Amino acid sequence: MKWIAEETARIAEIIAELKAENKRVFTSSSFQSHSIPLLHLISKIDASIPVYFLNTGFHFPETIAYKNKVSAELGLNTIDLHSAVDKMFQKDSLDRFLYASEPSYCCHINKIQPMESVLQSHDVWIAGVRKDQTATRQNFSQFEDGPFDTLRFHPIIQWTSKMIYEYQTTFNLPRHPLETEGYISVGCEPCTSKYISSERGGRWQGLKKEECGLHTDLINKK
């Protein structure tokens, strides 16, 4: 499709410009079906770009297997990040896992803190957020300032779910194995339910929460 070629060229040009300025560039991925088009693009543009995966220890086994499969097939430079706090010690005073009693703090120690260490050693974060995913993301621009003097680059911010689907089908990209079981947005197993009403409707069901913090805490507020 013409739009795919145009988008690939546009994103490739921006990444080339950033690297020509000696910017230390990285991306991150949750390795869901809708994440793979951006990873596929990056693999074609520059497969040496690090792809950080926040391995919380609470992911579905299917997600880990999918991550390994996609990384191998696309030749990605995938790096697992882990919390400094061992999984078995992530409990509150009543011996409940934090994902059950304090999910936002659980996200903080498993996602925010590990990502902060990456940001401190890089200049540009390529993040695959889209405006049509959540109300928060509707306000994002292609470039945003991040913490530690970093730049957030959102190359597919204007893409829609239809465009994601067209890209997936054009290149016959592998789908997350849980998608056929009704899981549209797949995160950590304890906090993920089957499709409810929107792309991220199955995350943190019953809570007033739709973001883990990566795209709220790690972006400079305007």
CA distance 71 to 77: 7
Report the relative pairing of strands 25-28 and 77-81 from DSSP bridges.
unpaired
At a CB cut-off of 8 Å and minimum separation 6, what does 175 contact? 33, 168
Nearest by Cα to 188 from 125, 66, 103, 131? 103
- Strands, DSSP E only, in the chain? 25-28, 50-54, 77-81, 124-126, 143-146, 150-153
**107 tagged catalytic:** no
Which entry of 106, 107, 191, 212 is annotated as an active-site residue?
A: 212
User: Which are the catalytic amino acids?
Assistant: 212
